[in-house]
Structure formats: structure tokens, C-alpha cells
Structure 1
Amino acid sequence: MSGGTDRVRILPCPDFQGRTALLLTDGNGPVSRLADRMEAVQLGLGDRLLGRARETLKEQPSEDGELHLLTDQLADALSDALLIAESRGLRLREAGPCPVHETPPALRAYGMLTLPGRNLASARTARHYVRDTCRSWRLPAGTTDDLVAITGELVANALEHAESPTVVIACALTPGTATVGVTDDGRSGGTPVASPSAGGSEAECEGGRGLLITDALATRWGTRRSGEGLTVWAEVAIEATS
């Protein structure tokens, strides 16, 4: 910042996947990153240090040749560093928009419920929650039934295999689709697959069959890790009503 004028830097790509970032403000004044303000202070200190180094060079006696040369080199290095930093800031400010190949669908509604991860009754509670949520969104009966069945399978798998203290059920509504996700703390360490392994245990076969049901009912499904947590999600197309 200089002359009392705030500089606002616009970063072209707020997300590594190209998704739009959501920024909420009170509407007063410009928006800037804290890193920009810190960088401005650092550049100002560096500029003053460079000036002081050059003044010291003028005051050094001519017989101190080695010290004079070393200080001269340090001053030149500092000058180069300041030039690079200022050039970096200019490039960021002048960067164009980041190309986004696919616009994410608009989120129309969202719901979330946290349940005990070591209580088998959580599966039934989760099914009731998803059914009530779908009804509040006025989804068709077929779509609702599919989401409820998927929720039951995913929560049952989490209760059986994850040993997580909590299980989080999330529902999302976008144009044309509804999605349910079940998140545990990821202690099982594995990635669910939609096929029971040959010769596997009864529990593993049950888990595999549950994901086969999910695979059959969902338009698409998948897994996502965030930190130590594991989310299994499934998306269902909303049936057209006549």
C-alpha cells in the first residue's frame, strides 16, 4: 500500500479443481488477503534495509576492500530479491481468469445429521432423516426410496467396519439430482469396493453386497478422503413427474 490507497489482489484460481470460492463480506470497503498486507510490510522493510546498506557502503573506508565487496554483494542480492517479489505481485494482479471446463451445479438445499457411530440404531435414524429430508424437498417417491435404501446400506457399512465414534449423513439437492453422503473417521483405512472378495468373511461379503445395491440404485457413486475422514457418496437422478 502506498499513498493511502489500498491494493486489492484478485487470485485467478481460488480452488485447485477450478471450483468457485464463496466469499462473504459486510459490503464495506475493499477485500484483500492478509498475506498481501504482510508482503507489503516486508517489501517496505526490505527497501529501507537496502537504502541503509547503500549508505553504509558510502561510509566505509577504501582500505576495507573485502568487507566493502561483501556488503556490495549482499546489497545487490537484496535488490534482486525485492525486484523478484515486486514482479511476482504484478503478475498475480494482472493474471486473467482461470478457465473452468465445467460449471458446478447450483446447490439448492443441504442437510446434515451427526449420529453415534457405535449404535446400530443409527442406521434406522439415518433412513428416517433422509426420507423426511426428501419429503421436505418434494422429491418423487422413487427417488426418495432409492436414497433411503442407499443411506441404509452406507450407514450399515460404516457402523460395521469403520469403528468411528460418529457418522455424519449429508444430503444435497442440485438441479436434476440429489446426493447422500456418509462420512466416518476413516479408521478402517480401506477404500470400499462394490464387489465382495472371493473367500472373504461374511462381514466383508455383506459390505460388498451393500455397495452393489448402492451401485445399482445410484446414477453414480464414489469415495472421497478429507484428512483422516472417509466419505462414501451416491448421486441419484430425480425422476421426472408427469
Structure 2
Amino acid sequence: MSIAEEPPAPCGLRLLPWTTPDGKPCYLSTDSGHSKLSRLADEVERAQLESGRQVLAGAKALLADRGAGERAVRFALTRAAECLADLLLIATSRGERLSRSEP
């Protein structure tokens, strides 16, 4: 099941920016967005976003190189797909939190 097909987080739970070893979503139940685990999740999200920026820059450079081989292109595409999955997880989590904060 892809992230786009994941059911929404159970009410009041935060979808975390990582999954279980078998790919299932992880959730956090907390009364505060400032708990130690919430702050860790925020830090992981920031690191994933920065990684996505770096992978995007590298992929663009590779695509501009007409001499890039298939192996390099496949590697870049694999990393880009991993980053896209992370970013979709972050977007889903943030969207759920935003919709809960609306009146």
C-alpha cells in the first residue's frame, strides 16, 4: 500500500516520518507538540527535507550530463524515489495536523 493509499491517522495521533521495519506507519499519541518524541520527529522531518533538496540538486546535475551512464541514472532515480516517499509521508502528516487545528 502506498502512502497515498494509507488511511488517515487515527484521531489525535501524529503520523511520524518513519515506518516500521515492515513498512507500516508509526503514530505518536501526545498532549504536546513539544514532547521529546515530537521534537525528534520534527528533526527527522527537517533532515529528510534537506536530503530531498540535495538529492534533487544531484539528480538535476546528472540529468544535465549527457554522458551519465545508466547505472548513475538508476542510482539517482532510486534515491529520488526514496526521498519522494519521505516527503509524501511528511506532507500527509502535516496535512492531518493542519486539518485538526482548523476550527
TM-score under structure 1 normalisation? 0.25
Query: Structure 2: where are the runs of 5+ without partners?
Result: 1-10, 14-30
Of the candidates 39, 42, 61, which is equivalent to residue 40 of structure 1? 42
* SS class of match (1:63): coil
Cα RMSD over matched residues?
A: 3.0
What does 1:128-143 correspond to in 2, within 5 Å?
none
2:88 to 83, 87, 95: 83
Of the three residues 70, 82, 85, the one matched with 1:65 is 70
Matching of residues 15-164 of structure 1 within 5 Å: 32-60=34-62, 61=65, 62-92=67-97, 94-95=99-100
Q: Which has the higher strand share?
A: 1
Q: Which runs of 5+ in 1 are unaligned?
A: 1-10, 14-22, 24-29, 97-242
> Which amino acid in 2 is paired with 1:41?
E
Q: Residue 12 of structure 2 aligns to which amino acid in structure 1?
A: P
Alpha-carbon distance in structure 2 between the residues aligned to 1:88 and 1:75: 20
Any residues of structure 2 matched to 1:170-181 within 5 Å, and which?
Answer: none
Aligned length: 71
Identity %: 7
| Rounded Cα–Cα distance in structure 1 between residues aligned with 2:69 and 2:33 | 50
User: How big is each residue's C-alpha offset from its partner over 1:143-189, in whole Å with a ceiling of 9 and x where there is no partner?
Assistant: xxxxxxxxxxxxxxxxxxxxxxxxxxxxxxxxxxxxxxxxxxxxxxx
Determine helix, strand or coil for the equivalent of 1:12: coil
CA–CA distance in 2 between the matches of 1:84 and 1:73? 17
Larger Rg computed on CA atoms? 1
Q: CA deviation at 1:95?
A: 4.4
Larger RCO: Structure 1 or Structure 2 (Cα < 8 Å, ≥ 6 residues apart)?
A: 2
